[in-house]
Structure 1
Amino acid sequence: MRSLRALLPQWRDYRELPRSWRRDVVAGVTVGIVALPLALAFGVSSGAGAESGLITAIIAGVVAAVFGGSNVQVSGPTGAMVVVLGPVIAVHGVGALALVCLLAGLIVLVAGLLRLGAAVSYIPWPVIEGFTLGIAVIIFLQQVPAALGAEPGPSNNAFVAALESVGTVNLADLWWPLIIAVLVAVIMIVSPKAHAALPGSIIAIIVVALGATLLNLPVATIGELPASLPAPTLPAWDSAMVLTLLGPAFTIAALAAIESLLSARVAASISDTGPYDADRELIGQGLASVAAGCFGGMPATGAIARTAVNIRSGARTRLAAIVHTLVLLLVVYVASNVVATIPLAALSGVLMVTSARMISLATVRTILGSTRSDAVVFTLTALVTVSVDLIYAVGVGVLAAAFFTLRRLAKSAGVHREELPLPVHPADERIALFRLDGALFFGAAERVLARVNSIQDVSVVILRLSKLQVLDATGAQVLTELVHMLERRGVTVLIKGIPPEHIALATRVGVIASLRHHKHLFTDLEGAVDHARSHVRRSRDADASASTR
């Protein structure tokens, strides 16, 4: 019960509220202004509609703020989720949105209850950055049709669909959407340079919406929005549809978990509001997606851009994220008619600039200039993200990183023949002392076996293992085989210094039992060398005695 209570909202989440509530309110209002155009744009871009994006930002935002594991995380619709959700809606229709939202939310919720939150820490940095770069490219490409006033191409691949849409552009309908998208981008880029506090996206949206309305421009707009939140309803449970959507739901859930935990981890690193609870964050995000689906919204994740704005604006507690949802709720009830006049091309401009800001050229240069393997992992992850699938990209990136890590680890496994301690004794050349260091695991075991077993013209082999840092079952089995092979050739094997952390494994696999005598296991090198020299001396004396007879 104590473990379960730790995953639920607690009073200590708001312990700083008496001192920070003013800053939290200001931060919440600021984030709400920033989140409005993004929520609308992501809703439209996904195919679910602007109202779905707005509902997600409100419902999922407040649920994740209360139940999540971060004090300053802001949740809602994100570009990465749009990239995954768009093809699902295109294939199964908007009617499947509520069900896939519910399924994905339940999967994330179960992952939190199973305490799988720490898994994200195993994703390497080049994979994360390659994934982010790929998402940014996809988001930009997805906005090309609306920015050109064309219909999206039929392909599920963003790059191909963008090319297909360019081929259908009508020059008569091209100019106004393109001018609007470019104007929005320019205003968003210039506004922060005039004053850091200016909300460039909102200013751009207001300017182009007023201009389009006053000039009666022939451009597509968001259209009618509901003037209130819909009543919550559970989606119809169709077993056949559930089986169909289970695969996409797992993909969406995996993405929601990864993005939310990465965002929470970044938030904890750039703020001093305390650490985040990864398992509780998964529970909060799972509940947020379930709740959003019941109101007609989309699956939600933690949003790093809005979270960063929240932190920079002075947020200290969850009140800031809650206030941001209240600001959006006010828009629904007071300004839905105004929002309906926003041109779709303006939202495309917002997302194009947002996608460009997701890419850090300094980070890209750092990774490409670090090591060849990291550069390959980064590039491969980005390419697979754009060309194949987001979740596949993470899997491929992690596997590639694991391959390079194992290769480096295998190379660290050293087998070195050392000189025996002085003074030199007669027949020391009949003794071979090998030092095994680094990692003896499945990737390096065969090389070690071949190196030691190739030794010739010796009577005793001493295996010095005190520098062995990593040993797995394969490595222990190879040691066992090595002892057997040498003993069958008449070579006595002595083992010195098995590290304490490897004793249990070596015993279970049979390394110690493979020795000719239990006294052939030593804790110090001097004792092992003395025993080897006495063994060689006895053998030499025995040979001399036999020759005289």
Structure 2
Amino acid sequence: MTADSWRALLPGRRDYKNLPRTWRGDLLAGLSVGVVALPLALAFGVSSGAGAEAGLITAIVAGVVAAVFGGSHIQVSGPTGAMVVVLAPVLAQHGVSALALVTVMAGILVVAAGIARLGRLVGLIPWPVIEGFTLGIAIIIFLQQVPAAVGLAHAESGVKAWKAAIDAVIGADWGVAWHSLAIVVAVGALMRAWPRLTTAVPGAIVAIVLATVGVALLGSSVPTIGELPAGLPAPALPAWDLDTLRQLAAPAAAVAALAAIESLLSARVAHTYTDVEGADADRELVGQGLASIASGMFGGMPATGAIARTAVNVRSGARTRVSAVTHSLVLLLIVVAMSGLVARVPLGALAGVLMATAVSMVRPAVVRSVTRASRPDALLFVMTALITVSVDLIYAIVIGMAVAALFALRSVANAAGVHREELPGPSFPGDERIALLRIDGALFFGAADRVLERVARVNDVEVVILRMSQIRLLDATGAQVLGEVVSALERRGVTVLIKGVQDRHLALLEHAGTLAALADDDHLVDDLDTALERARAIVSDGMVDV
């Protein structure tokens, strides 16, 4: 890599060029996200099996490191629900003592992916898959808040968000659940109406403060955040040995894959909601990897870009990475000085903020556009969303891309074809014995047999001219099948001329034996006039012999 390439992966003054005119909004957005991130960090830490403190450490330490070193100006990083799904079985099998080492190993792998410039691979994910992922994440975020919305202090752990939501509704004590629901509705309504009054202060902060004061004045017994862990531990390198590294290699790779994919998709989705310049995918991987390494050294969890907190960040007016740094500093301040006050914030208020955020993530115009684009696009969109909600994010992305690839192959294969053309110029005796066939599109494994079968069915001719200048894609299968068709035609007494092979395809045709199947070396020609001249000469010789 060149010096400029390395420099592009590191922080610089360019990251803060807009700060003089955006600092106020960034600070307020960071305050909003910090308040919203607090219960999520605690909950994800507990549900992963690492403990509430691990979740909080991740939000604080990884949040700062990813904000400074990452490639997005508006991404907020920390523990996420998708990471919990991958991490929980690892900790159950290897114990909490493996957390730090897995986190550091995964971080190193993600940094390596960024240095190897693998971040651009996210550009291969089709638009319907990304929008389906976004819809699925929005649904999960909404469903995750249902238990708090009906007055439950803790959701059922280890189950899908949709099942936990159903169980919470069925098992709720509706004699008191309406208190939490009232808070959720009030917060959501205030957040929707507040921007019409002013954008100077984020509606989420106003809603949370008013809800907390209202609950305190009315003496309601709704669940609150509760006691917080205090302080951060000193950083330390995790203990390791070769045997442990071998045991944790596969789990660390899975964690790294999820961290990379979720972070890149989160950043890409977030930037569709704002006019802030797009994220640098490779630098984002480096930043997320460093964030996980730092988190592991402090005893935290693997970090990823968090779409829920990033969405709150964008909606609150963030424009630079200072907002994400502020979010982590707010969490640290809360831990050190304000744990008693924050403990009184009702969970219903936070649920209302996140539910409103989830609803705002679903853009009806985009949903209509992708579902009306084509049937395959609509299927990809719906399928990805359903798998994201019901199975897993990684499965949703992998399956979505696989199905998209199948659709793309089918489309390319259908575009390939064989067309019989009239011979140009004045006609000559015997021209009816010459077939001029133009092969269009792609001659690859998905279309070779079908396309060349049409060539092989040509009857009542003595010469076939194959025009190959319009072929955009040729693979080994297409070249090999083409050679078989040429041999079959030659055995039937039909001479084959190949015209207009592109230079980039010549070596492949030679290695596959296609050119060797021609009856003569001069049956490979560059232009149509030469091909017609030789074809007519062959037909003329045949007529003389007769």
TM-score of the pair, normalised by structure 1: 0.88
Greater shift, 489-498 or 331-340, is seen at 331-340
Residues 453 and 513 (structure 1), Cα distance of their counterparts in 2 relative to 1, 3 Å cut: same
Whether the aligned pair in 1 keeps the contact of 2:32 and 2:313 (CA below 8 Å) is no
Unaligned runs of 5+ in 1: 544-549
Tell me, yes or no, if the aligned pair for 1:77 and 1:301 is still in contact at 8 Å.
Answer: yes
Q: Which residue of 2 aligns with 1:138?
A: 140
Q: Deviations over 1:481-534 (max 9, x none)?
A: 111111111111000001222222222222222211111011111110111011
Cα-to-partner distance string for 1:246-294 (whole Å, 9 max, x where unaligned) = 6664444333222332344467778887664322221110111221233
Structure 1 residues 378 and 312 mapped into 2: Cα distance closer, same or farther (>3 Å)? closer
The equivalent position to 2:375 in structure 1, one of 345, 361, 372, is 372
Matching residue's letter, 2:531: A
Contact 1:201 1:350 in 2 (8 A): yes
Matches within 5 A, 1:234-249: 234-235=237-238, 237=240, 249=252
- Cα deviation digits, residues 97-131 of structure 1 (max 9, x gap): 54543343233123223321111111001001101
Q: Which amino acid aligns with 2:427?
A: V
Q: Name the counterpart of 1:41.
A: 39
Aligned to 1:109: 111
Secondary structure in structure 1 of the residue aligned to 2:39: helix
Residues 428 and 533, structure 1, Cα contact 8 Å, conserved in 2: yes
Residue 62 of structure 2 is matched in structure 1 by 60
Judge which range, 132-141 or 328-337, deviates more: 328-337
Q: Is the 8 A contact 2:10 2:283 kept in 1?
A: no
TM-score by length of 2: 0.89
2:162 is the counterpart of 1:163: no
Is the contact made by 1:126 and 1:374 (CA closer than 8 Å) also made in structure 2?
A: yes
1:333 partnered with 2:336:
yes
Partner of 1:299: 302
How far apart, in 1, do the equivalents of 2:189 and 2:274 lie? 30
Q: Label 1:103 to 1:77 Cα distance change in 2 as closer, same or farther (>3 A).
A: same
Separation of aligned partners in 2, 1:5 and 1:124: 27
> Shift of residue 213 of structure 1?
2.7
Is residue 73–residue 302 contact of structure 1 (8 Å, CA) maintained in 2?
no
Q: Structure 1: which amino acid aligns with 2:370?
A: I
Asked if the contact 2:445/2:477 (under 8 Å) is kept, the reply is: yes
- Aligned AA (2:189): V
Gaps of 5+ in 2: none
1:511 aligns with 2:514: yes
- SS of equivalent residue, structure 2 residue 515: coil
Paired AA for residue 14 in structure 1: R
Alignment correspondent of 1:470? 473
Equivalent position amino acid for 2:38 in 1:
L
Q: Verify: 1:405 aligned to 2:408, yes or no.
A: yes
Change (3 A) 1:469 1:385: same
1:34-63 Cα distance to aligned partner (Å, 9 max, x none) = 211331132244253765555333322221
Aligned to 1:147: 149
1:261 alignment partner in structure 2: 264
AA partner of residue 517 (structure 2)? S
- How far, CA to CA, are the matches of 1:171 and 1:89 in structure 2? 37
Instruction: Give the aligned partner of residue 219 of structure 1.
Output: 222
AA aligned opposite 1:371: S
Mapping of 1:185-196 within 5 angstroms?
185-196=188-199
State the alpha-carbon separation in 2 of the partners of residues 97 and 358 from structure 1.
32
1:45/1:143 contact within 8 Å kept: no
The worse-fitting range, judged by mean Cα deviation, of 240-249 and 404-413 is 240-249
Partner residue, 2:128:
126
Residue 418 of structure 1: aligned partner: 421
| Partner SS state of residue 434, structure 1 | strand
Q: CA RMSD in A?
A: 3.1
Shift of 1:77: 2.8
Aligned-partner residue type, residue 25 of structure 1: W
Match of 2:436 in 1: 433
Once the two structures are overlaid, the 10-residue window that deviates more, 336-345 or 322-331, is 322-331
Q: Deviations over 1:66-88 (max 9, x none)?
A: 32234x24332375646646855
User: 1:459–1:491: 8 Å Cα contact kept in structure 2?
Assistant: yes
Greater shift, 38-47 or 346-355, is seen at 38-47
User: Aligned in 2, Cα 1:436/1:397: closer, same or farther, shift over 3 Å?
Assistant: same
Aligned to 2:489: 486
The whole-number CA distance in structure 2 between the counterparts of 1:439 and 1:227 is 63
CA 1:352 to 1:91, structure 2 compared with 1: closer, same or farther past 3 Å? farther
